[in-house]
Amino acid sequence: MSIDEHLDPIPDSFILQPPVFHPVIPYGTTIFGGLYAGKMVMLQGVVPLRAQRFQVDFQCGCCLHPRPDIAFHFNPRFYTVKPHVICNTLQSGLWQKEVRWPGIALQRGASFLILFLFDNEEVKVSVNGQHFLHYRYRLPLSRVDTLAISGDILVKAVGFLNVNPFVEGSREYPVGYEVPCSRALPRGLWPGQVIVVRGLVLKEPKDFTLSLRDGATHVPVTLRASFTDRTLAWVSSWGRKKLISAPFLFHPQRFFEVLLLCQEGGLKLALNGQGLGATSLDQKALEQLRELRISGSVHLYCVHY
């Protein structure tokens, strides 16, 4: 069977939109594949000291005139004594009835992590790990294809994630996994299978290690990132190190995605959507793999194969 035939069952949702780092504000981007229940947008940033307001708009199209409909307008305001958030929908150029959420955990001068989690009927928003609000859609989610960010905000990173592309009905915020994290590979790896690891690099990272072990606790393949010398390398079972010559794409406090595609004769690697070549491993060794283990200075959101 060819690799392409094996690839067919892989859902499109695996094709992750690369994260965006330090975009110039106002910023707009197409949301690849649009929005649907189970999709999540993460926003990392800082509220400037003299911020008045900023807004994150999930909108239907990107044309400037006429103004596109905005399915979800998320608008923190800091100019009042108590900062609050206004949510609303813009339809045919008219704002609808706005909803006010007091007590937002965003502060002038402070950094934040906001998660927008899109469900069937509503979007849930968490701020710095705490659920903050939910907003029922007034326009169909399927019409949203553009993210626009403007106002007084410094964006460090925008990430696009699927809560879990395989588990229907999983609509919770990602719990996050502790490291070291281990997953059993009961039947080894076969051409066409994909391992996806998504997470956030911690503040003062040392290293990141992803290893594939067999039943006899041999470790035929290890992918290791070292933050001290900013190198990424494959390490073989007998400790031979093969540097991957590519820009170092892991950064402190930024999201990353490692994708390993199993193909005949080895594993293909992509980091943050960029192909970084392959490492060779014969089919027998791939079939005999039994465990995926991840350790190092990261917080994991998704470990899937």
| 253 alpha carbon, distance to own chain's centre | 13
In this complex, which beta carbon is closest to ligand GAL, that of residue 150 or of residue 236?
Answer: 150
Interface positions, 244-303, toward ligand GAL (CB under 6 A): none
**Binding map of ligand GAL across residues 116-135, x = CB under 6 A, - = no contact:** --------------------
Instruction: Work out the widest C-alpha separation in the chain, in whole angstroms.
Output: 66
What's at 134, amino acid-wise? H
Select the residue interacting with ligand GAL from 17, 44, 59, 75 (CB under 6 A): 75
Look at strands 130-136 and 122-127 and give their pairing. Answer: antiparallel
Q: Tell me: does residue 79 bind ligand GAL (CB under 6 A).
A: no
Closest CA to 180 of 290, 303, 293: 293
Q: Shortest gap between Cβ of 149 and ligand GAL (angstroms)?
A: 13
Question: Is 86 within 8 Å of 67 (Cβ atoms)?
Answer: no
Select the residue interacting with ligand GAL from 15, 95, 172, 275 (CB under 6 A): 95
In this complex, which beta carbon is closest to ligand GAL, that of residue 40 or of residue 125?
Answer: 125
What's at 229, amino acid-wise? D
Q: Shortest gap between Cβ of 59 and ligand GAL (angstroms)?
A: 13
Q: Shortest gap between Cβ of 97 and ligand GAL (angstroms)?
A: 8
Q: Shortest gap between Cβ of 95 and ligand GAL (angstroms)?
A: 4
Tokens for 215, please give them: 């039943």
Q: Shortest gap between Cβ of 39 and ligand GAL (angstroms)?
A: 24
Write the DSSP string, 31-96: -TT---TTEEEEEEEE--TT--BEEEEEEE---SSSPPEEEEEEEEE-SSSS-EEEEEEEETTEE-
Q: Tell me: does residue 98 bind ligand GAL (CB under 6 A).
A: yes
In this complex, which beta carbon is closest to ligand GAL, that of residue 86 or of residue 300?
Answer: 86
In this complex, which beta carbon is closest to ligand GAL, that of residue 146 or of residue 209?
Answer: 146
Size of the site for ligand GAL (CB under 6 A): 6
In this complex, which beta carbon is closest to ligand GAL, that of residue 96 or of residue 107?
Answer: 96
Interface positions, 201-220, toward ligand GAL (CB under 6 A): none
Q: Shortest gap between Cβ of 24 and ligand GAL (angstroms)?
A: 20
Distances 89 to 77, 92, 135, 141, 160 between C-alpha atoms, Å: 17, 10, 10, 12, 22
Q: Shortest gap between Cβ of 150 and ligand GAL (angstroms)?
A: 10
Distances 17 to 14, 44, 273 between C-alpha atoms, Å: 9, 16, 7
Contacts of residue 256, Cβ cutoff 8 Å, sequence gap at least 6: 19, 198, 199, 200, 201, 249, 250, 271, 272, 298
Closest CA to 18 of 10, 8, 29: 29
Q: Shortest gap between Cβ of 85 and ligand GAL (angstroms)?
A: 10
Q: Tell me: does residue 86 bind ligand GAL (CB under 6 A).
A: yes
Select the residue interacting with ligand GAL from 73, 124, 213, 254 (CB under 6 A): 73
**Contact set with ligand GAL (CB under 6 A):** 73, 75, 86, 88, 95, 98
